[in-house]
Amino acid sequence: MSERSISGTTRRRFLATSAATTAFTAVGGIATPFLSRANDRPAITHGVQSGDVSVDSGVVWSRADRPSRMMIEFSTTDSFKTIHSGTFVDALPESDFTAKALVDGLPAGQDMFYRVRFQDLSAPTVVGEPAVGRFRTAPSDKRSINFIWSGDTAGQGWGIDEARGGMRTYATMLKNRPDFFIHSGDNIYADGAIDAEKKMPNGEIWRNVVTEDKSKPAETLAEFRGNYKYNLLDKNVRAFNAEVPIFTQWDDHEVYNNWWPGEPMTRAELVAKKYVEKNGLLLAARSGRAFHEYMPMRETQLEPGRVYRKISYGPLLDVFMLDMRSYRGPNAEGKDAAYGPNSYFLGPQQIAWLKRELLNSRATWKVIAADMPISLLVVYDGARNWGVEAVAQGDDGAPLGRELEIADLLSFIKHAGVRNTVWLTADVHYTAAHYYDPNKAAFQDFEPFWEFISGPIHAGTFGPNQLDKTFGPQLVYIKAPSKEQGQNLPPSEGMQFFGQVGIDGATEQMTVTLKDVDDRSLWSTTLDPKLA
């Protein structure tokens, strides 16, 4: 397509242009991408997405159908009349034809439009049709910020039912026009098959789009990759990705439920799923590779597989993305009184990094994005004798085991004078607000703070979970299934949740609002910053 023809693209046509670039059809019940009208040109198979946007940079991602060169152009207008910058990166079989590029030197606080084309490496004169996306760079001044968070996509067998609107929460989140989206983990459910039909509690049938790679728990690299491809079949997800940058982290279902490094795969839950591959570390390695291939996140050169990182989003906000899965010790019943490898949760290296970065942060608000609640929800790993999967030890007393690590971190935040920390998470498949009060805690050496939970985006709804009192969490708000409603409610029940955070540029106040799939504001609070 010529430069002249693209320059006619208007803001009104933006979503239509980006959505039309990636089209899908179902053949024999299996969803497969089809090529562009000119079958001799490289095609974009799963849309475009951006992520980890900062004041002057961002990551752009896409995938081709063949060995190609991804060429990206940036402009501050959707007409692309003036090209701000450009770059390229190759999409090769080794990365499943995915490609992503970190582009820097961008203007702060600016809407950036990017255009992606793929050039056939075997025929360099052949270039495919473009796709257009956008993101806004972080402000360099104290400008108002609006972002959202949630987690848990395509879980418990609730996949894409197109007759029910697909993954509708993504469309609702897009209506809020956020600057960015924090995905709090469980981007996929690699351990959960998506069947063609699933019976709902009311007797109706949920009819999924199905693919071969989602027909069983993922074991091969291709199957893990296929889980990400499945989510990208949804039109709501692709439209959202083209407009909203993603800050992502992972949790357990990217590999399998409640995994920890080195776990022997002898749990009854895993045996029942008939895994052929019995090496959990190998599954985690394959999963990690697919995660980094399909997520538009920055890579750390000295530690390419690292997930935890800080994203600076201007003078009002730093986001600390944690990894509560990769460095933990065993999910065990042991309530160790001394800190050691068995009680690692974030692990010593990540804890040291987090302390250092919190101490050095000059942003007004420090959002700690956790892939599991630290509200010490008592989550047992299958049968009780398999141990505690989360932080809480369930005894409401002085910190033991994994609680020792969190106690040390909270105490550090207090004594180092780190102000305005807020914890955001998902994982438990309901929405809640917890206020931590040291006056009501067994361990009291910390400053009061809030933790907000929201999710799932598109999965079964569960809860509520039991609170452990060690750190004095007060349940201020919750929306979860009632006893009468039961558990694992389908997305059609309307109990799909996300949270919205607004930081006012003038007052620097933070307003947190918990919302549902229909964009109803369920509960909200405004926090005043300490500006010492």
Cα 106 to its chain centre, rounded Å, is 24
3-state secondary structure 435-462: EECHHHCCCCCCCCEEEEECCCCECCEC
Is residue 376 scored above 80 in pLDDT?
no
Report the range of poorest mean pLDDT among 169-178, 228-237, 265-274: 265-274
Same domain, 223 and 322: yes
Contact 141, 251 (CB under 8 A): no
Percent of the chain with pLDDT over 90: 83
pLDDT tens, 383-410? 555 678 899 888 899 999 999 999 999 9
3-state secondary structure of 24: strand
Cα dist from 342 to 38, 335, 404, 490, whole Å: 57, 10, 11, 37
Segments forming the whole domain that contains residue 382? 145-527
CB neighbour class for 496 (10 Å; exposed up to 12, middle 13-18, buried from 19): buried
Identify the helix (H) or strand (E) that includes residue 492.
none
Contact 407, 359 (CB under 8 A): no
Cα dist from 184 to 191, 192, 448, whole Å: 18, 18, 23
Same domain, 66 and 163: no
Is residue 13 scored above 70 in pLDDT?
no
Q: What is the mean pLDDT of residues 191-198?
A: 97
Is residue 334 scored above 80 in pLDDT?
no
Structure-block tokens of residue 446:
């910390």
Identify the helix (H) or strand (E) that includes residue 372.
none
Is residue 60 scored above 70 in pLDDT?
yes
Q: φ, ψ for residue 104 (rounded to 5)?
A: -120, -175
Is residue 532 assigned to a domain? no
CATH number at residue 63: 2.60.40.380
Of 136, 165, 191, the position where a domain reaches its end is: 136
Edge-first strand order for the sheet with 449-453 is 309-312, 317-321, 365-369, 421-425, 449-453, 431-436, 473-479
3-state secondary structure of 528: coil
Q: By C-alpha distance, which of 191, 351, 360, 376 is closest to 286?
A: 191
Is residue 56 assigned to a domain? yes
Task: Report the greatest alpha carbon distance in the chain.
Answer: 69
Domains: count for the chain: 2
Quote the CA–CA distance of 433 and 431 in Å, as a whole number. Answer: 7
Contact 127, 41 (CB under 8 A): yes
Same domain, 154 and 72: no
Structure-block tokens of residue 98:
């995915």
Is residue 166 assigned to a domain? yes
Output the average pLDDT for the chain.
91
Q: Whole-angstrom distance between the N-terminal and C-terminal Cα of the chain?
A: 55
- The secondary structure of the chain in percent helix, strand, coil, rounded to multiples of 5, reads 20, 30, 50
- 61 pLDDT band, cuts 50/70/90, is very high
Is residue 440 assigned to a domain? yes
Is residue 19 scored above 60 in pLDDT?
no
Of 87, 118, 136, the position where a domain reaches its end is: 136
Contact 374, 406 (CB under 8 A): yes
CATH number at residue 425: 3.60.21.70
Same domain, 315 and 279: yes
Report the range of poorest mean pLDDT among 32-36, 51-55, 371-375: 32-36
Per-residue buried b or exposed e for 389-405, using 16+ beta carbons within 10 Å of the residue's own CB: bbbbbbeeeebbbbbbb
177 or 386, which is more confident: 177
- 23 pLDDT band, cuts 50/70/90, is very low
Is residue 278 scored above 70 in pLDDT?
yes
Same domain, 48 and 70: yes
DSSP structure string for 109-139: T-EEEEEEEEEETTSTT-B---EEEEEEPPP
Same domain, 85 and 126: yes
Q: Which residue has the tokens 């809480």?
A: 392
Residue 303: per-residue pLDDT: 84
Report the range of poorest mean pLDDT among 38-47, 256-265, 416-425: 38-47
Same domain, 160 and 124: no
Same domain, 164 and 92: no
Q: What is the mean pLDDT of residues 417-444?
A: 97
What count of other Cβ atoms lies within 10 Å of the Cβ of residue 506?
Answer: 8
Non-local CB neighbours of 23 within 8 Å, separated by 6+ positions: 33, 34
Residue 385: per-residue pLDDT: 56
Report the range of poorest mean pLDDT among 89-98, 237-246, 261-270: 261-270
Same domain, 367 and 460: yes
Edge-first strand order for the sheet with 521-527 is 98-103, 58-64, 44-51, 246-248, 180-183, 145-150, 497-503, 510-516, 521-527
Report the range of poorest mean pLDDT among 153-162, 236-245, 461-470: 461-470
Is residue 302 scored above 90 in pLDDT?
no
Q: What is the mean pLDDT of residues 109-133?
A: 96
**Whole-model pTM?**
0.92
Q: What is the mean pLDDT of residues 207-219?
A: 98
- 7 pLDDT band, cuts 50/70/90, is very low
Same domain, 382 and 325: yes
Residue 28: per-residue pLDDT: 32
Quote the CA–CA distance of 376 and 475 in Å, as a whole number. Answer: 12
User: Tell me, what amino acid is at 511?
Assistant: T
3-state secondary structure of 76: coil
Q: Which residue has the tokens 């009819």?
A: 207
CA angle 240, 109, 186 (to 5 degrees): 35
Q: Which residue has the tokens 């990759």?
A: 225
Q: What is the mean pLDDT of residues 485-497?
A: 97
Residue 39: per-residue pLDDT: 67
Q: By C-alpha distance, which of 510, 488, 512, 511 is closest to 498?
A: 512
Of 136, 170, 202, the position where a domain reaches its end is: 136
Is residue 1 scored above 60 in pLDDT?
no
Structure-block tokens of residue 410:
């909270």
Is residue 410 assigned to a domain? yes
Q: What is the mean pLDDT of residues 193-215?
A: 97
Same domain, 386 and 484: yes
Same domain, 477 and 408: yes
Contact 283, 256 (CB under 8 A): yes
